[in-house]
Structure 1
Amino acid sequence: MNVIRFLIGSMLFLILAAPPLSVFADGPAEQRGLTLEWQEQESHGPRSNTWLVIHGDGLPAPIRIHYLEAYVRPNSTDEDWLKSIFGHRTELVAMSDDGRCLRVKDTLSNGLVVDHVITAGVDEVDFRLTATNPTEKTSQAHWAQPCVRVGEFTGTGPEQTSDAYAYLAKSFVFLNNELVRMPTPEWALKARYNPGQVWCPQNVPRSDVNPRPLSPLVPSNGLIGCFNADESKILALAFEPYQELFQGVARCLHSDFRLGEIKPGETVQIHGKLYVVENDVPALLKRYQKDFPQHVANAEASDRE
């Protein structure tokens, strides 16, 4: 009997002393990181209407990305937008059970195939794209647009304000190696379509960007981003190679990536990041420079010219 009492007592002690099951989870809710959702909406044209939605307990609202909004031809700056874009169809290939990773495949009307591997981390989403041209003609899909909706993140969504451009005061690019809020100096106003603002890196033809007002200023790096309502957090994004940074007309920000002329049988790699981090700009820049060393090299080369 004493042995039985001892065993029962020992078992109770172990049960009471054991840590809660939550200790064996990934961590507190705010540390578990971001998760992904894929949405397919009805399409009324030659392009798929698909959305990548980012969830996280630390976010003021889910971050919605029109992914991808468009694949674009060269000489788009002064062209009718509908004539500049390719039709494309997007297929969800696979998604992990935990919502941390998904694969999608875009097939363009010109035959170009773009495979996307998108992975959510603690405070970032990583994009790895592989564009392959299986056709016998050089692809004229020069660049593409992921459209990140930031109204809710910045506290200036349609439920907070009727001013569709209130988010500009929360948004930024880097000019002369300094964070500069929008509207930036020398804000352009003339273009085929208004409003909006485009910043183009040194190595991209000015005839080959969004047909919205083009800033005369060249960005210091490929980061574009915004602050949340109380400015405790930053949302920022970058792609390599990038075609343009863009402030759009749907409470959105873009880092639009470059494909270039992909020759028959050729494959091109594109890398992107979306960061959701604490408001520490030097730390963000340090991380960005580590993730995108080619941007740093390009900026240094431009400075020497």
Structure 2
Amino acid sequence: MKSLLTAAALFFACLTGFAAEPSLTLAREGNFLVIRGAQIPGGEIRINYLEAYCRAGSTDADWGKHTVVKHTSELVSLSDDARVMKLRDTLEDGVTVDHTITAGPDEVDFHLVAHNPGSTRSEAHWAQPCVRLSKFLGMDEKTAGNADDYLPKCFLFIDGKLTHLPTPQWATQARYVPGQVWCPANVPRTDVNPRPLNPLVPSNGLVGCFSSDDKVVYATAWEPYQELFQGVARCLHADFRLGGLQPGETKNIRGKIYLVPNDVDALLARYKKDFPEQVH
């Protein structure tokens, strides 16, 4: 009788749309946010979260001496089902950034609240979550340093069209090489990562890559966003903007990571719904 009742309950759940979907899960390992799920090629994606908070005037400045604003990160809580994580970052100037990170069946949602409790303006202007993609691409993480073998799998949008890397124009000169930065039209080109700055302006804030078998797409976006960036650890960034915080000021930032089947039109529709501010 119990098995019959269980079967009936499952059948009813399917009919009414309340069947539980397997979710991605979250873990914190050192400074890494780890997203795990059976649907992820390689089983997990690791993010240096956050790699750095940064000052303005960063495009041609020393990374350590000028740009990086030091911070500490505290794991506040992780739900029993490993789906909701709360972190608190404290910057050296006293700014706090509270992160609520929520995993779903095929996405991870980020909601950040940055607050300046001090009496002077904070110089924290932008920040970067560094998403490592070697496992997702079926590659050895030990060979990730300065690798460019993953570029043909990566994409962003130029002139409204999905464009694979390397893009037709590719910068090679900067304070630090290699890598590539794409700066949106509303952000000063003096305030981005000190890697080669691409002359092309991205059409939107979405950046991503295809799995080795092309069945799964990883993509990410943030609002407001500072830049898109291809780095030197088989990583891709959509780095978010803080813009400095006045005394007593609070700002909200939000982001998404999508891990979805390879259907670019469906991904774009979802992105446009989630980030209407970035749709032109």
TM-score scaled by length of structure 1: 0.85
Instruction: Give a deviation string over 1:113-159, Cα, whole Å, max 9, x none.
Output: 10000000010000000000011111111000000001111223337
List aligned pairs for 1:65-84, cutoff 5 A: 65-83=47-65, 84=67
| Correspondence 1:221 to 2:208 | no
Q: Is the 8 A contact 2:216 2:261 kept in 1?
A: yes
Instruction: Give a deviation string over 1:271-297, Cα, whole Å, max 9, x none.
Output: 10000001000100000000001111x
| Letter aligned with residue 76 of structure 1 | S
Q: 1:21 to 1:85 in 2, by over 3 A?
A: farther
Q: Is the 8 A contact 1:156 1:166 kept in 2?
A: no
Secondary structure of 2:150 counterpart? helix
Secondary structure of 2:188 counterpart? coil
| Correspondence 1:51 to 2:38 | no
Q: Paired residue for 1:43?
A: none
Q: Paired residue for 1:202?
A: 185
Aligned length: 273
CA distance in 2, matches of 1:162, 1:215: 21
Q: Paired residue for 1:35?
A: 25
Q: Is the 8 A contact 1:157 1:251 kept in 2?
A: no
Q: Paired residue for 2:214?
A: 231
Q: Which has the higher contact order (CA 8 A, sep 6+)?
A: 2
Q: Paired residue for 1:104?
A: 87
CA distance in 1, matches of 2:129, 2:8: 39
CA distance in 1, matches of 2:269, 2:135: 27
Q: Is the 8 A contact 1:236 1:275 kept in 2?
A: yes
CA distance in 2, matches of 1:204, 1:66: 24
Runs of 4+ in 1 over 4 A off after TM superposition: 20-28, 159-163
CA distance in 2, matches of 1:225, 1:21: 41
Please, which runs of 5 or more residues in structure 1 have no aligned partner? 1-13, 41-49, 301-305
Instruction: Give a deviation string over 1:87-135, Cα, whole Å, max 9, x none.
Output: 1000011110000001000000011110000000010000000000011
Identity %: 56
Q: Paired residue for 2:107?
A: 124
Q: How many angstroms does 1:160 deviate by?
A: 8.6
Q: Paired residue for 1:158?
A: 141
Q: Paired residue for 1:4?
A: none
Secondary structure of 1:193 counterpart? coil
Q: Is the 8 A contact 1:117 1:127 kept in 2?
A: yes
List aligned pairs for 1:1-305, cutoff 5 A: 14-15=1-2, 17-19=4-6, 23=10, 31-40=21-30, 50-61=31-42, 62-83=44-65, 84-158=67-141, 164-296=147-279, 300=280
Q: Is the 8 A contact 1:197 1:214 kept in 2?
A: yes
Moved more, 147-156 or 197-206: 147-156
